[in-house]
Amino acid sequence: FNPEAAMGTVLSTPPIDYRVKRVMTRFQMPMSAIEKLWSIYCAHETPGQGYLLTEEFFNNILCYEQRSLTDPMVKLIDSKSDVSMTFGEFVEIVVTFACFEKRELLKYLFHVLDPHQIGLIERTELKHFVNNMWRGEATKNVTEGLHYLDRINDGDGQYNWKQIESMDAHYPSAFYPLYHLQICIIDKTMGRYWWEEHKNKLYDKRKEYTRDEEKRLRLKEEEERKEKEVVNEEMVLRRMGYVRYYCMPWMRHVYKARLLRIAVMEEELDQAYASK
């Protein structure tokens, strides 16, 4: 598919609304990728209307038949319509689902079946959803997976996240249509190689952020530890006196803060004298 050829020689500049900005920031999407998505959008939008029909998105862009998995996608991004989408909504759906890790995709499925966020999925609701997801042609692996859930369930007719995660680990092809949906999004937009490279970059940045955050927390803990060493409860007790210390406990933090300021000032003076 060549969207540029379908559109002609020149494409207009993609509209950058708050959704596109949010995606570019959250997922580090370059402008070149936004322009590519814009060319795909323009090739399929309703002529003269400025929007893309949801049916067109699934049937002709993704070539993925709408079903129980696809309907909640537009709700997840808080779309204004379930029959059409703006470019910003199109970008948010594509990039969000393309960047999902496997566990996040499974979380999406759980979220769909747990709309009230109580942490439980009804047994009948799950079986109906899975049957619809497979269009009534569930494989043996799916049937065995559902039986597995019944075996590990405590008999209340509901499944929690850990149980769904365990089923997916033991019967990974049971939710294949879910993972196939992501593959369709990836293949029909930037392609597998591009998305794989981009997701690897995101993963590296997440690891770097995590390391920086851990370092920041360690430094904070070290500072708090030093503060405790500089000003301890015994010093506060001596400063306040026994009567005020025990009769006015709400004032302890005030005295502790004063002592800490004094300690900091003394340290600064020591450093100033040492530098002379």
Most confident range (mean pLDDT) of 11-20, 79-88, 184-193, 204-213 is: 184-193
- One of 1.10.238.10, 2.30.30.220, 1.25.60.10, 1.10.3720.10 is the CATH number of 102-181, namely 1.10.238.10
Q: What is the pLDDT of residue 229?
A: 60
For the segment 160-167, the average pLDDT, to the nearest whole number, is 93
CATH superfamily entry for domain 3-99: EF-hand (1.10.238.10)
Residue 8 pLDDT > 70: no
Residue 171 pLDDT > 80: yes
For the segment 187-192, the average pLDDT, to the nearest whole number, is 96
Q: What is the pLDDT of residue 3?
A: 43
Res. 5 pLDDT band, cuts 50 70 90: very low
For the segment 199-206, the average pLDDT, to the nearest whole number, is 88
Task: Give the type of residue at 41.
Answer: Y
Res. 129 pLDDT band, cuts 50 70 90: confident
For the segment 157-163, the average pLDDT, to the nearest whole number, is 91
Q: What is the pLDDT of residue 257?
A: 82
For the segment 55-69, the average pLDDT, to the nearest whole number, is 87
At 230-248, the pLDDT tens digits run 567 778 888 888 888 888 8
Long-range (24+ apart) CB contacts under 8 A made by 83-86 are: 83/53, 83/54, 83/55, 84/46, 84/51, 84/52, 84/53, 84/54, 85/51, 85/52, 85/54, 85/57, 86/17, 86/19, 86/50, 86/51, 86/52
Res. 28 pLDDT band, cuts 50 70 90: very high
Task: Give the type of residue at 200.
Answer: N
Beta bridge partners, 84, equal 53
Q: What is the pLDDT of residue 230?
A: 59
Q: What is the pLDDT of residue 231?
A: 65
Q: CA 271, 216, 24, 52: dihedral to nearest 10 degrees? A: -150
Instruction: Look at strands 158-159 and 84-85 and give their pairing.
Output: unpaired
Res. 34 pLDDT band, cuts 50 70 90: very high
For the segment 108-118, the average pLDDT, to the nearest whole number, is 88
Q: Where are the domains of the chain?
A: 3-99, 102-181, 191-229, 231-276
Res. 11 pLDDT band, cuts 50 70 90: low
Residue 9 pLDDT > 50: no
Question: Secondary structure of 109-134 in the HEC alphabet?
Answer: HHHHHCCCCCCCEEHHHHHHHHHHHC
**Residue 76 phi/psi, 5° resolution?**
-60, -35
**Within 13 Å, how many C-alpha atoms sit on residue 53's CB side?**
9
For the segment 5-16, the average pLDDT, to the nearest whole number, is 63
Q: Which residues contact 256 (CB under 8 A, 6 or more apart)?
A: 231, 236
